[in-house]
Amino acid sequence: MTSLSAFPPVEDQLALILRGVVDNPAASELKAKLERSLKTGKPLVVKAGFDPTAPDLHLGHTVLITKMRQFQELGHEVVFLIGDFTAMIGDPTGRNATRRPLTREEVKDNAETYKAQVFKILDPQKTRVAFNASWLDALGAVGVVELAAKYTLARMLEREDFKTRFQGGISISVHELLYPLMQGYDSVALQADVELGGSDQLFNLLVGRQLMKEYGLEPQCVLTMPLLEGTDAVELEGKIVGKKMSKSLDNYVGIQEAPGQMVGKLMSIGDPVMWRYLDLLSTRATADIAAAKAQVAAGALHPMEVKLSLAGELAGRYHGVDVGVEAAAEWKRVFSQREVPKDIREVTVDITGEEDTITIASLLVAAGLAESGKEAKRLLAGKAVKVDGEVVDQPGSPIRSGGPYLVKVGKLAYARVTVRINAPSDLV
């Protein structure tokens, strides 16, 4: 039990808790829970579940995890729930086709990386890590039937993606209908006071409220957070438009990526998108963000400086503050002041051939600056390749044995490449 003095006043708690929240359907209940917590000194149990469907977390995931951290800072108990059982079902949310379930081995491997990464945000001393297989495995066939009896098919088909698929004649497997029930049962098992989720998870979270009532428990409050758009999002008619951040769409920033790479990706987002990222990812006070926006509007502050500050903050959060500052400074030095990076990868291309040259297309592949000859030709055609500061755009352009050559590909990739070409007779 937490001492009474550990909790801030309820209104102060709500101001932080509700920042950025999309849905809060039980607002009065949430306030009542916080008031009771303050009176009794007992922290709320705050649950958020993550299915380990991929090995890496990205900034899109951190919107929810940052909200969990805020609850921790207010003195409440956070449960980081790893859906090792539900991941094998596959969450059908937002999908128009049946999702491939994962194997136990895939889930186990991904879960281990989740545990390692999440504590870059959460306080490990204040976090309870739970795996839902510990109670869902124990349900057994009888338990699953009893659980299914507590919810109707009609209500399940009220869910938008199920409704769309049903009306469109697209198959819905029975195991997909079990997913919201299993997620809801997690809340029963944990006796959660609050469940957090993305805005696309509202239906599933409300199922948890209903199941808790069915099991004679006080229903959880539900808070949903926005889905962070990917780095390719744009502004359209005053709104940020784009698909949510996803590794499969290659519009993500992974929290384990190198700091320089994180900064580079964040600096590529559009200026309007920058404000969205600031609201959802930065720890800066709302008033500070508003002040920066006013300065930009008045022409007193360049948007690039705001964006660079954000990029440095986020790189510093996952790699150390000093590292983030240095990564931001390096980006500015290289891309704003057009200087060469301090640390450039050195590569030696050692091949055998009759001629004393290698084509630039072959060199790019051999040096690891292009994955294939096809990609090398695309980069060259787009005038994205420079050798010693000069644009090279013909795949057959010869590069003589020697060097090192300073090779730049796009805005981010540099290498000092030494070419050594050995005649066949040299190998005899």
DSSP secondary structure string for all residues of 344-406: -EEEEEEEE-SSSEEEHHHHHHHTTSSSSHHHHHHHHHTT-EEETTEE---TT-EEESEEEEE
Q: How far from 74 is each of 16, 41, 65, 228, 397, CA to CA, in Å? A: 9, 12, 14, 24, 62
- Residue 320, domain CATH: 1.10.240.10
Q: What pLDDT does 339 receive?
A: 66
* pLDDT single digits (tens) 251-287: 999 998 999 999 999 999 999 999 999 989 988 888 8
The burial of 120, by beta-carbon neighbours within 10 Å (0-12 exposed, 13-18 middle, 19 or more buried), is given as: middle
Same domain, 87 and 193: yes
Residue that finishes a domain, picked among 280, 302, 336: 336
Q: Tell me the residue range of the domain where 405 lies.
A: 345-427
CB 50 within 8 A of CB 110: no
Same domain, 269 and 379: no
Same domain, 149 and 286: no
Q: Does residue 83 carry a pLDDT above 90?
A: no
Same domain, 40 and 164: yes
Whole-number Å distance between alpha carbons of 423 and 40: 83
The pLDDT confidence band at residue 96, using thresholds 50, 70 and 90, is: very low
* % of the chain surpassing 70 pLDDT: 92
CB 58 within 8 A of CB 257: no
Mean pLDDT in residue range 317-322: 93
DSSP annotation of 414 reads E
Mean pLDDT in residue range 36-46: 96
Q: How many domains does the chain have?
A: 3
Structure tokens at 119: 């504590």
Q: Which residues of 135-157 are buried (b: 16+ CB within 10 A; e: fewer)?
A: bbeebeeeeeeebeebbeeeebe
Structure tokens at 277: 């990222």
Please report how the helices 59-73 and 271-281 are oriented relative to each other, as an axis angle in degrees rounded to 10.
40
Residue that finishes a domain, picked among 158, 193, 225: 225
Q: Does residue 81 carry a pLDDT above 50?
A: yes
Q: Does residue 77 carry a pLDDT above 90?
A: yes
Rg (CA), the chain: 26
- Residue 209, domain CATH: 3.40.50.620
